[in-house]
């Protein structure tokens, strides 16, 4: 990549129009943190501050100027990761939605690349599904539905951004973070793709497969597959399945679930504590939605806006 393009990507101040903001603020400057500030906030990247580790780096908890933050320390010495780092800065600085994680700032010093986000005290949806009731309290069905609705609203924002479309490409419970009120925030944008608005927003992809095993739509494995928002809808369908069944997808979850979904018998994969807290009408609507999202033909899957509406219907059926 030419130096001028790198400088352009690193410019984190964007116009009001590009950010699609409905406020008088014409641009937003992210905070540029020094490496010393980051080290002080994390006690030198202490193990006790480590929140987790993903494909692209380790995430630490810290406190800067009285504000709790989460800091992703990108793995070093990989040019492609540096470009992803720059892309995430540009992408998140253009997003303004309650269900999208906020980027506070970044550090780009020496060989260190660190992204600084708002801190999510309730961890991820993944934590609530798999860490056990002794560590995280069990979610009620109403809470599960509200979290799914919020996450779907975040995806809808990404898929219908005014000036460009964002395809997340790694939708999963681990990337759905929860604030102190269990409001979900979509995170994990280093695999994301952006596309301009036009008559079609899919394209032939020559890139390697992005995402996480178990959440990838069938078309992602085809030669010259067409990348579109429907791949996110499929991954979200797998997420909805996990929310109900509390089983990770790499244990052949989708293969187990599909024939049961066709017969309306998914409750046989559902834990007793979940089954006991869901109304039959809600379960039926929820099952039908999962089945739609997991359609093999991407053209048969609902758009994410329809997913939001059907989840809201499921919630009404649950609380009526």
Tokens 């992703």 sit on residue: 72
- Cβ atoms 294, 235 nearer than 8 A: no
Q: Under a CB-based contact definition with an 8 Å cutoff, are residues 151 and 182 in contact?
A: no
Nearest to 171 by CA among 251, 232, 246, 102: 232
Cα angle, residue 137 at apex, residues 272 and 69 outer, rounded to 5° = 140
Would you say 72 is a known binding-site residue? Answer: yes
How long a stretch of residues is the chain? 320
Closest CA to 230 of 299, 290, 153, 161: 299
Angle between helices 3-10 and 79-93 (to 10 degrees): 40
- Residue 277 tokens read as 């807290």
Distance in angstroms (rounded) separating the CA atoms of residues 241 and 146: 15
Query: Which one of the listed residues 170, 179, 232, 297 is annotated catalytic?
Result: 170
Residue 36 burial by CB count (10 A; 0-12/13-18/19+): exposed, middle or buried? exposed
Catalytic residue status for 170: yes
* Among 195, 228, 199, CA closest to 299: 228
Instruction: Please report which residue ranges of 197-228 form alpha helices under DSSP H.
Output: none
Q: What amino acid positions are annotated as catalytic residues? A: 170
Which residues carry a binding-site annotation? 72
Which residues carry a binding-site annotation for ATP? 72
């Amino acid at each position: 990549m030419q130096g001028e393009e790198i400088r352009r990507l690193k410019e984190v101040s964007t116009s009001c129009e590009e950010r699609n903001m409905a406020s008088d603020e014409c641009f937003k400057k992210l905070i540029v943190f020094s490496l010393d500030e980051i080290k002080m906030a994390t006690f030198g990247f202490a193990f006790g501050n480590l929140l987790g580790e993903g494909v692209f780096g380790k995430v630490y908890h810290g406190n800067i100027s009285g504000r709790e933050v989460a800091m992703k320390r990108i793995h070093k010495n990989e040019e492609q990761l540096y470009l992803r780092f720059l892309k995430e800065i540009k992408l998140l600085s253009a997003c303004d939605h309650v269900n999208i994680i906020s980027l506070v700032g970044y550090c780009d010093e020496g060989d260190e690349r660190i992204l600084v986000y708002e801190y999510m005290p309730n961890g991820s949806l993944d934590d609530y599904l798999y860490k056990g009731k002794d560590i995280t309290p069990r979610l009620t069905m109403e809470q599960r539905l509200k979290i799914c609705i919020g996450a779907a609203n975040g995806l809808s924002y990404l898929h219908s951004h005014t000036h460009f479309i964002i395809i997340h490409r790694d939708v999963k419970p681990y990337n759905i973070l929860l604030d102190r009120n269990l409001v979900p925030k979509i995170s994990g944008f280093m695999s994301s793709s952006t596309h301009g608005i036009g008559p079609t927003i899919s394209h032939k992809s020559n890139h390697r497969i992005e995402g996480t095993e178990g959440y990838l739509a069938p078309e992602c494995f085809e030669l010259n597959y067409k990348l579109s928002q429907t791949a996110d809808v499929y991954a979200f369908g797998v997420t909805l399945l996990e929310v109900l069944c509390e089983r990770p997808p790499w244990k052949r979850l989708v293969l187990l679930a599909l024939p049961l979904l066709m017969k309306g018998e998914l409750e046989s994969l559902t834990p007793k504590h979940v089954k006991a807290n869901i109304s039959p009408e809600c379960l039926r609507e929820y099952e039908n939605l999962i089945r739609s999202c997991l359609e093999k033909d991407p053209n048969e899957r609902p758009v994410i806006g329809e997913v939001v509406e059907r989840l809201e219907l499921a919630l009404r059926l649950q609380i009526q």
